[in-house]
């Protein structure tokens, strides 16, 4: 009887060590997988969720996450929307542990459009936008042109269409200076 108890104790001890080793391996693999996630991957796991983005200039954008690009997010709040470059985000409230896993490194890269492509859609639609830049200034008007790393905004009153007579100046804004682009939901979300 004592031998049976001894062998049962030994077997239980080995099982406990095996289980602890397995759990440690799983934890290591989970940490390694999390280390591969970008902020965009985390955000893609929260499509249609309400989040608050804290911006580099101290402002916030709160709304329903509509879309996530390579380096930007589109957030809808009622009839207004915002296009936020991820480089201008200093914090996000409302995220859970959900994420969309990064693509397979051996497979084709996902087609995620960059900030320039999103801004070109605004230029194509001739949408009236308000571009807030680092330092707090707001450039309001119509996006005329979008280059590789900058956009041109034809500054004109909101109640007038973009016509040469209404444009007071054209402001060139580097992408790195953009904190948020606000407009109506029809064009930005």
Average pLDDT, the chain: 85
- Asked whether the predicted pLDDT for residue 168 surpasses 70, the reply is yes
pLDDT tens-place string over residues 146-162: 999 999 999 999 999 99
Which has more confidence, 55 or 41?
55
- Asked whether the predicted pLDDT for residue 51 surpasses 90, the reply is yes
Output the pLDDT for position 1: 54
Band of pLDDT at residue 26, cut at 50, 70 and 90: low
- Asked whether the predicted pLDDT for residue 167 surpasses 70, the reply is yes
Average pLDDT of the segment spanning 32-37:
63
Which fold, 39-188? Answer: SH3 type barrels. (2.30.30)
pLDDT tens-place string over residues 110-138: 557 899 999 999 999 999 999 999 999 99
Q: Interior CA angle at 182 toward 125 and 128, to 5°? A: 35
Output the pLDDT for position 178: 97
């Amino acid at each position: 009887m004592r031998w049976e108890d001894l062998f049962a104790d030994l077997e239980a001890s080995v099982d406990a060590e095996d289980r602890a080793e397995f759990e440690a391996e799983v934890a290591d693999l989970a940490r390694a997988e999390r280390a591969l996630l970008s902020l965009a991957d985390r955000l893609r796991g929260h499509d249609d969720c309400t989040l608050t983005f804290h911006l580099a200039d101290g402002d916030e954008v709160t709304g329903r996450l509509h879309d996530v690009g390579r380096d930007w997010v589109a957030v809808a709040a009622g009839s207004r929307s915002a296009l936020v470059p991820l480089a201008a985000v200093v914090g996000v409230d409302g995220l859970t542990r959900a994420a969309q896993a990064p693509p397979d490194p051996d497979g084709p890269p996902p087609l995620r459009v960059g900030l320039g492509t999103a801004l070109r859609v605004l230029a194509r639609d001739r949408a009236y936008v308000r571009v807030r830049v680092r330092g707090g200034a707001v450039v309001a008007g119509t996006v005329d042109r979008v280059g590789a790393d900058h956009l041109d905004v034809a500054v004109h009153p909101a109640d007038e269409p973009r016509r040469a007579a209404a444009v007071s100046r054209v402001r060139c804004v580097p992408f790195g200076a953009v904190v948020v682009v606000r407009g109506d939901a029809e064009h930005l979300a």
